[in-house]
Amino acid sequence: MRLGTAVIALIFVFFLGLGQAWAAPPEVKAEAAVLMEAETGQILYAKNPEERMYPASTTKILTALVVLQHARLNDQIVASPEAVGTEGSSIWLKEGEKLSVKDALYALLLNSANDVAVALAQKVSGSIPAFAQLMNETARACGATSSHFTNPHGLPDPEHYTTALDLARITRVALGNRLFREIVATKTYTFHRPTLPEPFVLVNHNKLLWRYEGAIGVKTGYTTAAGQCLVAAAQRNGRELIAVILKSEGTEVWNDAVKLLDYGFNAFKPVELFKKGETLGQAEIPGGNQPLLLIAGESFIYYVPTEERAFSLPRWQVHLNPLRLPVRAGERVGEVLVTTGKGEGMKIPVVAGNAISPLPFWQRTSGKVTLGVLGLAAGAIYASRRRRKRRF
């Protein structure tokens, strides 16, 4: 027996008392910006997060992700006339020159090589339009639903655009790839090109790798239409933040990124919204012999302003998958979707807390799913935890 998708909504606001809010978020020059907590996808800062913008060479984050999903690192790209003729930043490929996909990815992400971007796209898909289709499919899979890409390098095109929020989502997924993380954190890279007598040295355009403690990437970008763009990521004290800066001005792009990263690391504290193994609610399964206990498959940490004594917790909903009886204890049965109105779609798995067997045929009844929720209990649990000393 299958159970259709169901939703349990747990929505509550929790106040610790009146107090002064932390100092206002930093002012940035950028026209659009987002600061994201990488582990959960929580948005800590947003300025015009869903405004359509030209991404310039930050496009290459998505290009690299597509290549890593569809090409082998030891394969070779071949520089076509189209690739060699691409305007903008390049490593000056010669027609017919060959590079390994791995070396080409370093040239793409460190030196922002447009000629290499075209050659990689042609290697993967045979043409730019076909590769752009893969880019758009991959972007949607990352949760980037307000973007559209037409090329692998980011040169201006009215139909080539993204948002600060979408770019943060794409970057979060890309940073989940080990080699991508390794490349964007690399300051210099040396490899052999058959057309040159000496080893070829790439220097990463991202100055934060030298200037900001904990910086691990990610990508710079600039065109006249896009302005100064930057996606920056940094790690400190077990946390990882992603800052997206679109259409900043001159050297202000670096200041914008530093302000946002400092704000994220210094102005927030963690709160455990619920912990792994905690009961979130229960669902009556038609034809089942008992209610299904819904258990958090992972702990969930939410960040609140450090100096703010009064705050509201986010909304969260338990989404159940279509289920087939019997259900095994520990089986993944859905997910918790946490939202705050800032565009996040933070998710954790939900597992079955008990086994559910089908009733004998003569005891089965049809009807709607009955959902029992423990929202008040969850609030009480949280309140009791606030009274205990906690360490993060």
Strands 76-78 and 279-284 turn out to be: unpaired
Evaluate whether 168 touches 62 at the Cβ level (below 8 Å).
no
**In angstroms, rounded to a whole number, what is the distance separating the alpha carbons of residues 189 and 100?**
14
**In angstroms, rounded to a whole number, what is the distance separating the alpha carbons of residues 207 and 46?**
23
57 is a catalytic site residue: yes
DSSP characters for 111-143?
S--HHHHHHHHHHHHSSHHHHHHHHHHHHHHTT
47, 60, 247, 259: the active-site residue: 60
Q: 107-137 in b/e burial notation, b at 16+ Cβ within 10 A?
A: bbbbbbbbbbbbbbbbbbbeebeebbebbbe
Residue that has been written with the tokens 């997206």 in this structure: 244
Q: Encoding tokens for residue 128? A: 């730019």
Q: Encoding tokens for residue 332? A: 């993944």
Residue that has been written with the tokens 């947003």 in this structure: 46
**In angstroms, rounded to a whole number, what is the distance separating the alpha carbons of residues 32 and 164?**
6
In the three-class reduction of DSSP (H, G, I as helix; E, B as strand; rest coil), residue 150 is classed as coil
What DSSP designation does 218 have?
E
357 is a catalytic site residue: no
| Alpha-carbon distance values, 216 to 18, 55, 60, 211, 268 (Å) | 38, 20, 16, 11, 21
90, 112, 147, 248: the active-site residue: 112
The reply to whether 247 sits in an annotated binding site is no
248 is a catalytic site residue: no
**In angstroms, rounded to a whole number, what is the distance separating the alpha carbons of residues 49 and 37?**
15
Strands 188-191 and 98-100 turn out to be: unpaired
Strands 32-37 and 43-47 turn out to be: antiparallel
**In angstroms, rounded to a whole number, what is the distance separating the alpha carbons of residues 128 and 325?**
47
Residue ranges of the binding site for substrate: 219
Catalytic amino acids? 57, 60, 112
Residue ranges of the binding site: 219
